[in-house]
Chain A
Amino acid sequence: MTTAATPHTPGAPAAPAPGTPLLEATDVVMRFGGLTAVDGVSLTVSEGEIIGLIGPNGAGKTTFFNCLTGLYVPTQGRVSYRGETLPPKPFKVTAAGVARTFQNIRLFNNMTVLENVLVGRHTRTREGLFSALVRGPGYHRAERESREHAREMLAFVGLDHKADHLARNLPYGEQRKLEIARALASEPGLLLLDEPTAGMNPQETRATRELVLAIRERGTAVLVIEHDMRFIFSLCDRVAVLVQGKKLVEGSSETVQADERVIAAYLGTPYEGAPPDEDEAEVVAAEQAAGAEQTDEETTA
């Protein structure tokens, strides 16, 4: 992780003032017919923060993400970024400065690693068809700058040596990294990560944690969905818990970990006459089981 090599880019403010609200979601409601997937969730992400979003499967975390990024138009509520309401179009949200990754990796498989990142640069470059056909000096300069920036991003996540490989041929962990590099290429002020460590082994998870911290160093705030509790609680400044579409509790790692309602949501309420002390190991095992399951939520629009 070479954080030092990366200079500040226009999209990421040079001096992030911690505490300034970046993303504000107010009373977001998402209904699919009779089903209320997200029910009045409010969440604020400030500059320089890493916020965790946890909850059992089906709690509406990814749906909430899709509402934030314009893939879904929320039934009610308002999502604003730096004080301005986000338009409900994914490409406009990205242009505004909110980038995301997907729960089930969605790379452009038959493009090279570098080209994937170049596509991520799309909103930060302006060259249209005419410019591509004429190929003036401006076009060449923009193209060269894009490539330089894309290579920087690849170096940042540690994939620069694979720039010319097809994305589909990368191993799983590197595909996750590439997705993050592609999202970072749009110079976002806020990065939404949807289960970045799903399917990773402990070493890879640790590396991802370092990467997320390095992203924060660059001045990009991060909102992350995860089932890996150890990852979340060691990384996030604040954690919000979503259960059945509603925000149950929000606070520091300790607050959330100690909250009985959270434990109840994950493990169920103890039945009458249950042994008072549940084995710690059992809790850990349940957490891991929850982390392994990831199939019932779809990101598709």
Chain B
Amino acid sequence: MTDTDITPGTPDVPVEATTARTEPAGPRPLLPLPLTAARALTLAGAVATAASAWLSWTWTSAFPGDLTVTGYPGGLQWETFAAGLLTALFALSGYGVRGLRWLTPADPHGATLLAALGGLATTWYTVIAIATELGGLANLTTGGWIAAVASLLAVLGALALPPTGIGGGLPRRGDPDARPDADSGAGANAVQRALAALRGYLGRRPAPRPAAPAPIAVHYLVILAVVALGLGVFTYGIDANYGELFVGYLLTTCFALWAAQRAGLLTRFAELNNRHRAWTTTLAFLAAVAFPLTQSNDHDANVGVNILIFATVALGLNIVVGLTGLLDLGYVAFLGVGAYAAALVSGSPYSPVHGTAFPFWAAALVGAAAALVFGVLIGAPTLRLRGDYLAIVTLGFGEIFRIAVQNLDGTSGPDVTNGPNGIPQIPDLSIFGFNLGNPHTIGSITLGRFANYYLLMVIATVIVIAVFSRAADSRIGRAWVAIREDETAALAMGINGFRVKLTAFALGAALAGLAGTVSAHVTYNVVPDPYQFAGPVAPNSAFLLAAVVLGGMGTIGGPILGAALLYLIPEKLQFLQNYRLLAFGLALVLIMRFRPEGIIANRRRQLEFHEPDDAPGPVATPGTAIGTTTDPGEATGPASAQAGA
């Protein structure tokens, strides 16, 4: 989540002035209510929403999560509770309650509205799901009705608060600066007027107030709290074991993040993060390591491993697509090369080179090196092409890899891959006598097989992140970005375009190959099928590209977040089965329409797509990476947890 906040240098809209105790002089809210009434309504609605989560919502426990208990929330009710609580906190902060003002440094009322909308979405989704799944509104108890009404009241109350954003809201009557489109005409323009009013809540927001000075220890504690919260939120999402709960989770989290962005908290955290990068990185790493310890069953650790494999491959692709600007549609082939190379030397009885059992470090090197060689072999002829032609040729090579692997079974060629049967029974890894296949008990915590592999993948991910960030912030990384920006000019600046592009291609391939070696051992076998262009399961070329583009090209956090989302959503929403690709297509179109720079934008791309009206200030402190740093603050909350997870 990044902020579309305007850059410093724009006159700061004094928040104090617009949220003054008396009737504000700013633009009018959407719903005409006295300020006091609006505040009371919002707060009452928010508190009632949170409280209603403690009531029983339905008669039977047929709806998953058991929402029948009065006196304790269950399942989706927790999400309603969280949203209601957040709304109440933002609302109180908007009133200027002492001790809570820090929650909304930028736009209190916009944040309140978004949090309230999150509560409305989650609660109404739950209520409607109960009614449809159990067959009728009769299945709702009074508690359910209270929740629905309370969440609606909170939204209505928030809409009656005067907008604190820039340039929105209804102009006051007789206002000389009134925008003609906002106040002209009557009924015919109702929609236009409503949109104009909403702009005040959701449009451009003022820059956050500067943070009050605080001791360094407080900074560290805040970062610790945010990372812990992120880990908690991420773990909750992984644990969400039925579709309804996960949908509610997505709704609540998205609105909560949006509200936090609106409130200016994400910008604040970004500042903190920039100042204490080492601390944040350490904590994110610790959070990633801690993740399997929070899991009671090994299935969730398996999800974690798969997300990490997917994410590291996406990071490798990010070098090719995000930094160098080469569209590679056959990238998953390199994951396959790594996996097959590792399987061949794993000591599997079915491996055509039986008896060769390399230790893991050697197998990893072999996998990465094999992928690198293939990268050079495929790159050398194709990288002379530009743009669409390159995309088409890489798409072709990706398919050639899969079909070749399918046919190298000894009948139509040498027996290298066992054809469609693949190489099964790949033994578990053993590192320093520590067999990753067996559960290990450390103190009172048992690490299962997948938890072991998860920890191995965390190390691999750290290596990949280090390689990515170091390569990006260097002479060669600048050359990549220069080629992406303008290849002709880059050539004229003395950059050997072909060689530099080949380096990017080979490095990306090697990173994918490294991930492939682990993935071969995690899944016990390698078969040609998964390495296709598009398919319903996560690591295929289309999904990899989607993870990079959706998450944010050229960043570190982006592809990791994108990979987590693209893996978790199909995994959790099994009921979408046949519509998954449709839903993805739709989501991608929407994201590209409204956030073309990806969920986590690097500063530069954001400036590219959302040109501010005024001349912006400097973008980076000298010495930071080009267009690549996960603008760390941008990767708050779940992102930083996922940076490790």
Which residues from chain A sit less than 8 Å from chain B, CB to CB? 69, 71, 89-91, 94-95, 99-100, 102, 106-112, 114-115, 118-123, 125, 127-129, 131-133, 135, 139, 142-143, 146-147, 163-166, 168-169, 182-183, 186, 299-301
Contacts and interface: CB of A to CB of B under 8 A. Distances in A.
Contacts of A129: 471, 474, 476, 503, 507
A164 B621 contact: yes
A300 B488 contact: yes
Contacts of B492: 69, 71, 90-91, 94, 99-100, 102, 106
Given A102-B489, A106-B488, A122-B494, 13 more contacts: A91-B492, A91-B493, A94-B492, A100-B492, A108-B486, A109-B485, A119-B479, A121-B475, A131-B474, A132-B473, A133-B467, A164-B622, A166-B619
Contacts of B471: 129, 132-133
A119 B616 contact: no
Contacts, number: 137
B603 to A, nearest CB: 9
B620 A112 contact: yes
Contacts of B353: none
B478 A119 contact: yes
B489 A110 contact: no
B470 interface: yes
B134 to A, nearest CB: 53
A272 B496 CA distance: 56
A182 B493 CA distance: 8
A132 B604 contact: no
B462 to A, nearest CB: 14
Contacts of B467: 133
A46 B144 CA distance: 88
A135 B196 CA distance: 53
Interface centre among B474, B607, B622 (most CB of A within 10 A): B474
B169 interface: no
Contacts of B497: 91
A107 B482 CA distance: 9
Interface in B567-606: 604-605
Contacts of A91: 491-497
B485 A169 contact: no
B552 interface: no
A166 B607 contact: yes
28 contacts: A71-B492, A89-B491, A94-B493, A102-B489, A106-B486, A111-B626, A111-B627, A112-B618, A112-B619, A112-B626, A118-B475, A119-B495, A122-B475, A122-B479, A125-B475, A128-B476, A129-B471, A129-B476, A132-B471, A135-B470, A139-B474, A143-B475, A163-B622, A164-B619, A165-B619, A168-B607, A186-B494, A300-B488
B260 to A, nearest CB: 27
Given A111-B627, A300-B488, A127 B475 contact: yes
B481 interface: yes
Given A100-B492, A132-B477, A111 B485 contact: yes
Contacts of B177: none
B615 A169 contact: yes
B31 interface: no
Contacts of A164: 618-622
B490 interface: yes
B175 interface: no
Contacts of A71: 488, 491-492
Nearest to B472: A132
Nearest to A139: B474
Interface centre among A90, A128, A147 (most CB of B within 10 A): A90
B482 A119 contact: yes
Given A91-B497, A110-B605, A111-B626, A132 B475 contact: yes
Contacts of B491: 71, 89-91, 301
Which 7 residue pairs across A and B have the least CB separation, nearest first?
A132-B474, A123-B494, A164-B618, A94-B494, A108-B485, A106-B489, A90-B491
Interface centre among B494, B496, B615, B620 (most CB of A within 10 A): B494
A290 B292 CA distance: 71
